[in-house]
Structure 1
Amino acid sequence: MKRFILWVPLAVFLAFLVTVAIGLYAPSDRKIQSQMVGKPVPAFTLPPMLPDRPGLDSADYASGEPRIVNVFASWCVPCIAEAPQLEAIAEKGIPIDAVAIRDRPQDVAEFLQRWGDPYARIGSDVNSRVQIALGASGVPETFIVDGEGIIRYYHFGPINEPDVPDIIAAYEALK
C-alpha cells in the first residue's frame, strides 16, 4: 500500500500533462478571433503607396459602402498565395483596399505586376502603426468594414480558395 501511495503524485502529474497536451493539440476552437470585430476602424491616414492610386483614410470607411481591407506586404510569401483569391473577390465588384506594411513602392509595384492587382487603394504603413491599431499581428490579414466604419469580419492568414465564398457572403451581408 505504501508503494502505491508513492506513485499517486506521479500519476496525477502525468494525467495533468496528458490533459494539457490534448487541449493544445485539439483545441475546441481553432479560429483566431480579432478583438476589433464590432469596433470602429481606428482613426488613421496613410499616404499612397503608389502614385497611380489614393492612399487610405479611416474616414473613407464611413461612406455608406462596405469595403475589404487587406494587410499585406510584397515580401510576404503567404500574400503571394492569396493573390488569386483576392483577384477573384475583386472580379465580383467588391472593393478591396490594402495596407502595405514596411514596404517600398517599387517592391509593391513589382508584386502587383507579377501576382495581380485587386486593390482600389493602397496605403503605405512604413512603421506598422495602422497594422497595430487594427490589431493585426502579421501579414496577410483581412478585415471587412461596414459602411459606417465598423469592423464586421476578420480573416487571419492567407485567404485560400475555400475561404472565398465565406468572405463574399460576409461582404454581401453588409450591403
Structure 2
Amino acid sequence: MAKLSPLMIAPPAIFAGLAALFFVGMLRENPDELPSTMTGKPAPAVQVTPLGDKPVFTDADIRSGGVKLLNYWASWCAPCRVEHPKLEELADQGITIYGVNYKDKPGNALGFLQELGDPYTAIGADENGRMALNWGVYGVPETYVIDGQGNIVLRFAGPITDRVLENQIMPAIEKAKAGE
C-alpha cells in the first residue's frame, strides 16, 4: 500500500479550506458590503484643516445633537462626482452633511464644489489621510451616518445612488433619529 505524502494531501486540504471561507462569505446578507468595526461606536476624533474660506467643522460638531452625515470625497474621484447630486438632495432635505476632502489639492477641491455645488454644512481637508486612517476609510467616496451622541450608525463605502439612499442611508438616518 502506498503511503500518502503531505504534498499529496496539502492541495486538496487548502482547496477545501478556501471553498469553506468562500461559502461562509456568501452567507452574509450583503456580500458587497464592507464590514465595519466602527458601527455602534463613538466616531473617531475629527482632525481637519480649513479648505479655502469654507466653514470648518470640529469634533464637537460631530458629537452635538442631531443626525448628521460625514462624507469623504475628492475632486479626482469619479464616483464622488456621481454621488454629488444625491448629497445635494440630502442637504436640500435639511440633513447636515460634513465633508472631508481627502488627499486633494485645495484648488481642485474648491473648483469641484464651484462646478457641482456645495452640499456641505461645513468642510475640512484631510491632506495626508491621517483622519481617514483613524476612521477606517478604504477609499472615496465613503459616508458615515452619525447619531446625536456622535456614534456611528452606518458606514457606507462607495457612491450614494438612489438604491443606496433608499435601502441603506435613509433607514440608517431613521434609526439614528429614533435613538435620539
Instruction: Give the C-alpha shift of residue 23 in structure 1.
Output: 4.5
Distance in 1 between the 2:26 and 2:116 partners?
Answer: 35
User: Residue 20 of structure 1 aligns with which residue?
Assistant: 18
Range with greater deviation from structure 2 (25-34 or 72-81): 25-34
Alpha-carbon contact 2:138-2:157 (below 8 Å) kept: no
User: Residue 85 of structure 1 aligns with which residue?
Assistant: 86
1:130 aligns with 2:96: no
Amino acid across the alignment from 1:170: A
Could you tell me the TM-score, scaled by structure 2's length? 0.81
Instruction: Give the C-alpha shift of residue 20 in structure 1.
Output: 2.3
Instruction: Give the C-alpha shift of residue 74 in structure 1.
Output: 0.9
User: Residue 55 of structure 2 aligns with which residue?
Assistant: 54
CA distance 1:44–1:12, change in 2 (3 Å): closer
Matches within 5 A, 1:97-136: 97-136=98-137
Task: Extract unaligned runs of 5+ from structure 2.
Answer: none
Could you tell me which of 164, 168, 172 is aligned with 2:174?
Answer: 172
RMSD of aligned alpha carbons: 2.5
CA distance 1:10–1:84, change in 2 (3 Å): farther
CA distance 1:49–1:12, change in 2 (3 Å): same
Give the % identical residues. 37
Distance in 2 between the 1:23 and 1:45 partners?
Answer: 37
Instruction: Give the C-alpha shift of residue 140 in structure 1.
Output: 1.1
